[in-house]
Amino acid sequence: MTDIPQTTTRPNRRGFLGLAALVAAAPAAAAILGPGAIPASAAPATGASGDDLPSYAPVPPSAFGPALNADGYFVGPIKDNLYWVTDGFYQSMFLATAHGVVVVDAPPTIGHNLLRAIKHVTAQSGTPSTVTHLVYSHFHADHIGASSIFGDDVVRVGHEQTRRLLLEAGDPNRPAPTLTFKERHVLEFGTDRLELAYHGPNHTPDNIFIYAPRQSTLMVVDVLFPGWVPFKSLAVSQDIPGWVRAHDTAMGYRWTTLVGGHLGRLGVRADGDLQRQYIRDLDASTKQTLASLDPTPFFQKYGPSGNAWAIFKAYLDTAAQQAAAPVVDKYLGTLAGADVFTVDNAHALFESLRIDAGALGPFGIRP
């Protein structure tokens, strides 16, 4: 028997992370120069070539954040002793107090760079670098999967549902919070405070709002995406009506700076207003499509073969594309990724209208 090599085509994780950092560190160059700006040797082996991949509209320059340093991250002040860290894909924030550091979220893509950022800031400010508290925005691994790097002595804080979900997950990289709350909890450190609040399920059953009133800063993750349309399928949210309502909840806070948990820049109130209008436009277009799209051709095409899944797939795909089209046209060049995820977002909203709101397309109650 001939041995089959096992390592010649395995994607190089370190190479991929280096490539991701390169793109995040120089987004303008990547957008202007295109794929040729990235050496072919730096890319991991895949089953697809560049010619097979779709092309999308350029990213508006306003969507990009600050350049990353040589280690692949950026750290900067929000206001006074509140700081944020990004790798261009994910974000964390931390409060540097006279008694220690309070961190909110530990994304694994930032990983140990979060410790480097804290050490750099506290060395300059002359405050302790010891992390005393780690607040979880929600249980998802992509936002807290580096929690374990802070060791066992840190006080982990989260919603009671976060503790339940993490105990079920049993992930050693995401130890369950030991300090939990049901509706509200305040962490006070001298003149600083972080107000933690649970306003019901949205992106996840446990996603919370973290507000720093002295710094007029709100951190709510996977709801608002400053400069961009929401990630695929409305941020892969588990409760779409709750996620939509979370926009109004977020805008009800008195903040001037938003930490959204994703991508390379902070948000301002105009970003929240813009995304809320995007969702309203998409909702209106989806409802119009639901009222106007005739399901008859889909039943005629696939009904005789008994392929029920084909009926629904063709109908729902067509509905999502029809609902997305005018929204893409309106926001292309204004919100990054309008042509990337709006069809997926329309699909999620369409399904929510059918399932959560009782708009039973492509059928109704049988007479």
Q: In the predicted model, what is the mean pLDDT of residues 176-204?
A: 96
Which distant-in-sequence residues (6+ apart) come within 8 Å of 340 by Cβ? Answer: 56, 229
pLDDT digits (tens, 9 = 90+) for 289-336: 999 999 999 999 999 999 999 999 999 999 999 999 999 999 999 999
**pLDDT on residue 25:** 52
State whether residue 185 is helix, strand or coil.
strand
185 to 37, 153, 188, 283, 352: CA distances (angstroms): 48, 21, 10, 34, 31
pLDDT digits (tens, 9 = 90+) for 148-188: 999 999 999 999 999 999 999 999 999 999 999 999 999 99
pLDDT digits (tens, 9 = 90+) for 258-290: 999 999 999 999 999 999 999 999 999 999 999
Residue 238 CB-half CA count within 13 A: 11
Q: In the predicted model, what is the mean pLDDT of residues 87-97?
A: 97
pLDDT digits (tens, 9 = 90+) for 33-82: 334 444 444 455 556 667 889 999 999 999 999 999 999 999 999 999 99
pLDDT digits (tens, 9 = 90+) for 214-253: 999 999 999 999 999 999 999 999 999 999 999 999 999 9
pLDDT digits (tens, 9 = 90+) for 125-147: 999 999 999 999 999 999 999 99
Q: Which residue has the tokens 């992106």?
A: 203
**pLDDT on residue 24:** 55
Assign 7 a pLDDT band (cuts: 50, 70, 90).
very low
Q: Which residues on adjacent β-strands are paired with residue 187?
A: 194
User: Which amino acid would we find at residue 144?
Assistant: I
**pLDDT on residue 20:** 55
Tokens (6 digits) for 205? 């059953």
How many whole angstroms separate alpha carbon 286 and alpha carbon 265? 30
State whether residue 298 is helix, strand or coil.
helix
**pLDDT on residue 364:** 73
How many whole angstroms separate alpha carbon 46 and alpha carbon 56? 20
Q: In the predicted model, what is the mean pLDDT of residues 192-197?
A: 96
**pLDDT on residue 47:** 64
How many whole angstroms separate alpha carbon 262 and alpha carbon 264? 7
Tokens (6 digits) for 17? 């992370």
